[in-house]
Structure 1
């Protein structure tokens, strides 16, 4: 394979995410979701499938293999030798989409030897766009707007997301659910309190959990519930590009991608 122009690939992924977002919003505004359920009882809507169709129309031109939630993925025997692959969740937060609370996203990441090196998260309702080049250590945020054209200032300095200084305050903002916590998360919060911290719970849907940590709106995101690689790869890239870690809950090692089993271990973002 020829050397990959990362800025070019990131621009393409941004364009794909914005166009996919438009397709999602047409269905969202029509309220004609045509919801069905997969074997694992997770919901699937017409918007998931249409978004996937749009993204595939862009990414197939790169000749880089694609792993997507809404695509039949190849067996590991064929995937294991890939140096690069795209990791796609066409509509992350389908439950949020059905609830109509706006907290759903389009996620696209480029993986190199198991590590996310590019990431895009687009929020169709608010038109917020997060994207990152990990190898350059740069994350960005802009508003996509209504234009059909790709924003010309994608890589301008004023769009950079910069690491927030660690607060010396005693309060720690933890990403979680305000309404219910599982036992592991409750224990984690109790340990923070035992360390003298007061804890504020910050709640967000979908991959926006990664974004609020990257923006400094939360300090830590403990995830002790199942996720798949396509749920986390783009958010992982956005966080990693500004120096945050996304690590295996048990081992402390960075999450890896394109594994034989595409289910993630529990993890911590901080």
Structure 2
């Protein structure tokens, strides 16, 4: 894939995320209904509407789509995909239902199992993160409108820089809604090693962004996630040198696997 194509696909993903953010907020501002899916996770009208918008953009590319809200394609077909989109139209639906603003639109492009670009949009605050991994670049911008042009975004976005921690204070990102016992044990282990630990709570894929932008040191995730929960966040982290390491393989998380469930992982330098 050429650099020109990657730039074009990144622009498409950004535009799709902003338009999805717009429809999400229109639902957010209403008395929406909440449905419970078979896996016990919540679903709202915003998930479907955002998914329809994102599909309308990505289906104009020659690249197949894995989305939480699409019917999943059998692995016998998916395994032939060298490149695919991985999408979560509303990551953090629990945060959406709580109306705390900590939900995101996640769009990533995967080649050979690895993210090559990623977009995370926070509709409630109009905060946009995006990364081009072929250039090792990731950026953040606070928008005034969901209709902000690509040219304006590219001109004013600020490069992300993670922390280089040299002291005994470790800022650990904890899930707003999914703090597991294994995570608590991880924190206690750090303390036993003489580290001072501060927990930074955040919902959705924003946890990746905190590490990528230097607002935290590490994000241990010892609870279930799916590929669409992590692909865009991993793209943004990897672009600035932050690793997303499987606790099973001790290597980077991979995508478009037969089982779309992720292993436990740690995000950090």
**Is the structural similarity TM-score above 0.5?**
yes
- Partner of residue 48, structure 1: 47
CA displacement, residues 1-41 of structure 1 (integer Å, 9 cap, x when unaligned): 8886111110110000000000000010112x221111111
8 Å CA contact 2:120–2:232 kept in 1: the answer is: yes
Instruction: Give the distance between the partners of 1:180 and 1:74, measured in 2 at CA.
Output: 28
8 Å CA contact 2:175–2:203 kept in 1: the answer is: no
Q: Please give the residue correspondences for 1:157-172 in structure 2 after superposition, counting only pairs within 5 Å.
A: 159-164=158-163, 166-172=164-170
- Partner of residue 269, structure 1: 267
CA distance 1:2–1:77, change in 2 (3 Å) = farther
Instruction: Give the distance between the partners of 2:126 and 2:183, measured in 1 at CA.
Output: 31
8 Å CA contact 1:178–1:201 kept in 2: the answer is: no
Deviation at 1:159, TM superposition (A): 1.7
Using the TM superposition, name which of 168-177 and 125-134 deviates more. 168-177
CA distance 1:199–1:109, change in 2 (3 Å) = same
Select the residue among 225, 230, 233 that pairs with 1:232: 230
Instruction: Give the distance between the partners of 1:179 and 1:201, measured in 2 at CA.
Output: 14
8 Å CA contact 2:86–2:110 kept in 1: the answer is: yes
Instruction: Give the distance between the partners of 2:121 and 2:191, measured in 1 at CA.
Output: 34
8 Å CA contact 2:176–2:203 kept in 1: the answer is: no
Select the residue among 207, 226, 233 that pairs with 2:205: 207
- Partner of residue 196, structure 1: 194
8 Å CA contact 2:175–2:207 kept in 1: the answer is: no
Instruction: Give the distance between the partners of 1:115 and 1:215, measured in 2 at CA.
Output: 21
SS state at 1:250 partner: coil
Q: Please give the residue correspondences for 1:214-229 in structure 2 after superposition, counting only pairs within 5 Å.
A: 214-229=212-227
Select the residue among 155, 171, 174 that pairs with 1:173: 171
- Partner of residue 26, structure 2: 26
Deviation at 1:177, TM superposition (A): 4.5
CA distance 1:65–1:157, change in 2 (3 Å) = same
Residue 101 (structure 2) pairs with residue 115 (structure 1): no
Deviation at 1:178, TM superposition (A): 7.3
8 Å CA contact 1:70–1:89 kept in 2: the answer is: yes
- Partner of residue 70, structure 1: 69
CA distance 1:199–1:143, change in 2 (3 Å) = same
CA distance 1:15–1:268, change in 2 (3 Å) = same
State the TM-score, normalizing by the size of structure 1: 0.94
- Unpaired runs of at least 5, structure 2: none
CA distance 1:156–1:3, change in 2 (3 Å) = closer
- Unpaired runs of at least 5, structure 1: none
State the TM-score, normalizing by the size of structure 2: 0.95
CA distance 1:74–1:210, change in 2 (3 Å) = same
CA displacement, residues 227-263 of structure 1 (integer Å, 9 cap, x when unaligned): 0000000000000000000010132110000000000
CA displacement, residues 193-219 of structure 1 (integer Å, 9 cap, x when unaligned): 122111000000000000111111110
| C-alpha RMSD of the superposition | 1.8
